[in-house]
Amino acid sequence: MALIVHKYGGTSMGSTERIRSVAQRVAKWARAGHQMVVVPSAMSGETNRLLGLAKELMPNASTPEALRELDAVAATGEQVSVGLLALALQAQGVPAVSYGGWQVAIETDSAFTKARISRIDDVKVRADLAAGKVVIITGFQGIDADGNVTTLGRGGSDTSAVAVAAALKADECLIYTDVDGVYTTDPRIVPEARRLSTISFEEMLEMASLGSKVLQIRSVEFAGKYRVPLRVLSSFTPWDIAIEEEAASGTLITFEEDEKMEKAVVAGIAFNRDEAKISVIGVPDRPGIAFSILGPVAEANIDIDVIIQNVSHDGRTDFSFTVPRNDYARTMDVLRTKVQPVIGAADLRGDAKICKVSIVGIGMRSHVGVASKMFRTLSEEGINIQMITTSEIKTSVVLDEKYMELAVRALHKAFGLDQEAVAAA
């Protein structure tokens, strides 16, 4: 008998028929003797519907008072889900009880619409589990110290599930989603992409932050901090497949560095084309210049990703960075009006048609030559590299976006990801 947390996304909860199927799956686990906690999202489309209503009444909610109301409204989506799922389980003869985040309580700070969980009270949940009940808890939300409802932001239900699993010291947290695990890269780009049976926490973190949409990055951070064994698996398998088969499916995110001989150097290839590249040319090379450039951009609430400043010559240097593609025009405007006149840069150049491709792998730590193999592979395909940035377990390059698919496919093959049959880490 184990204590298991299941998380189901909005698509899995999208209709009463699907909720019934989730209930059947959970019932199977409960009948197998496991203590079950379930964290479902709102029914698909519901959160958008609620926020749409709110937006009609206040198009640009930004004050804490307005964000508080936004959260109170948005949180009702999951409150409906948990009640319906509890009814569906009871209808199948499985004792079940639902709780809103405030009832558990899942305590958070007061950063409405993007709150962070500070503490989870597990007393009620443990008592219900001991009494043989399935406990269903709203994802995405909590309560602050003043008794206000808060939400954790988009994708917050993943984080809720992991946080609940951490608080209860669950044996495993299963994230049911619309893909059947974490892949070496996106199978829509590379048909040979393989599902990883395991991936290390650090690799998952890089994959998540680099555009692999399987898990919300905060949930991975949370899992890492509290060492919650996390499994990503498909909610589209029939609910009545053998529990052993289901328990071994998907991708397990691990924390132990195992000693497998055939450890793959690179676990996967991540990519995105949501960014734009900007270069400030002929910048005087003096202390404080990076802040002079990026300060006004950050002040305009624009996220900055890759930042590159190369060595200078003749007292001038070029300074490049990437921003979300949606913010490209606005960033150029900020630079033109607030930065260029102040620092006296020679020129501004931008390109929205770029992509970022990254190789990720914990094996990179101990293997030299991984980055150079990446560069050689791209070179052999005639792909020019515009920017390079590295961390301990990843190397990212910025390319013309037209080369993205080609680069991903070539790298996937070069690092043997379409052949390797063992786990990545």
**Exposed, middle or buried: residue 310 (CB in 10 Å: 0-12, 13-18, 19+)?**
exposed
How many residues are given for the chain?
425
HSE of 10 in the Cβ direction (CA atoms, 13 Å)? Answer: 15
β-bridge pairing 172-177 and 3-8: parallel
Rounded Cα distance, 301 and 285, in Å: 26
Q: How far apart are CB 20 and its own copies at their closest, in Å?
A: 6
Closer Cβ to its own copies, 87 or 332, answer by number: 87
**Exposed, middle or buried: residue 147 (CB in 10 Å: 0-12, 13-18, 19+)?**
exposed
Closer Cβ to its own copies, 41 or 279, answer by number: 41
Other Cβ atoms within 10 Å of 314 Cβ, number:
7
Whether residue 340 contacts residue 350, with contact meaning beta carbons closer than 8 Å, is answered with no
Closer Cβ to its own copies, 56 or 259, answer by number: 56
Beta-bridged to residue 239, according to DSSP, are none
Q: How far apart are CB 39 and its own copies at their closest, in Å?
A: 16
Q: How far apart are CB 36 and its own copies at their closest, in Å?
A: 16
Beta-bridged to residue 308, according to DSSP, are 320
Whether residue 356 contacts residue 323, with contact meaning beta carbons closer than 8 Å, is answered with no
Q: How far apart are CB 169 and its own copies at their closest, in Å?
A: 24
Closer Cβ to its own copies, 47 or 160, answer by number: 47
Q: How far apart are CB 301 and its own copies at their closest, in Å?
A: 21
β-bridge pairing 3-8 and 117-120: unpaired
Q: How far apart are CB 116 and its own copies at their closest, in Å?
A: 21
Q: How far apart are CB 351 and its own copies at their closest, in Å?
A: 39
Closer Cβ to its own copies, 97 or 410, answer by number: 97
Q: How far apart are CB 94 and its own copies at their closest, in Å?
A: 11
Please provide the DSSP assignment of 376-390 as one string.
HHHHHTTPPP-EEEE
Please provide the DSSP assignment of 252-300 as one string.
EEE-S----TT--S--EEEEE--EEEEEEEEEE--TTHHHHHHHHHHHT
| Three-state DSSP state, 153 | coil
Whether residue 394 contacts residue 364, with contact meaning beta carbons closer than 8 Å, is answered with yes
Closer Cβ to its own copies, 84 or 168, answer by number: 84
Q: How far apart are CB 145 and its own copies at their closest, in Å?
A: 13
Q: How far is CA 55 from the centre of its chain?
A: 26
Q: How far apart are CB 12 and its own copies at their closest, in Å?
A: 15
Closer Cβ to its own copies, 14 or 211, answer by number: 14
Q: Encoding tokens for residue 413?
A: 């093959």
Closer Cβ to its own copies, 88 or 364, answer by number: 88
Whether residue 124 contacts residue 58, with contact meaning beta carbons closer than 8 Å, is answered with no
Residues at the site binding its own copies, with contacts judged by CB under 8 A: 16, 19-20, 23, 50, 53-54, 56-58, 61, 63, 65-66, 68-70, 72-73, 75-76, 79-80, 82-84, 86-88, 90-91, 95-98, 100, 102-103, 147-149
Other Cβ atoms within 10 Å of 75 Cβ, number:
25
Closer Cβ to its own copies, 72 or 348, answer by number: 72
Q: Helices 201-209 and 217-226 sit at what angle, rounded to 10 degrees?
A: 160
Closer Cβ to its own copies, 74 or 175, answer by number: 74
Closer Cβ to its own copies, 28 or 412, answer by number: 28
Closest-CA residue to 172 (of 180, 161, 160, 183): 161
Radius of gyration of the chain (CA): 24
Q: How far apart are CB 110 and its own copies at their closest, in Å?
A: 14
HSE of 208 in the Cβ direction (CA atoms, 13 Å)? Answer: 23
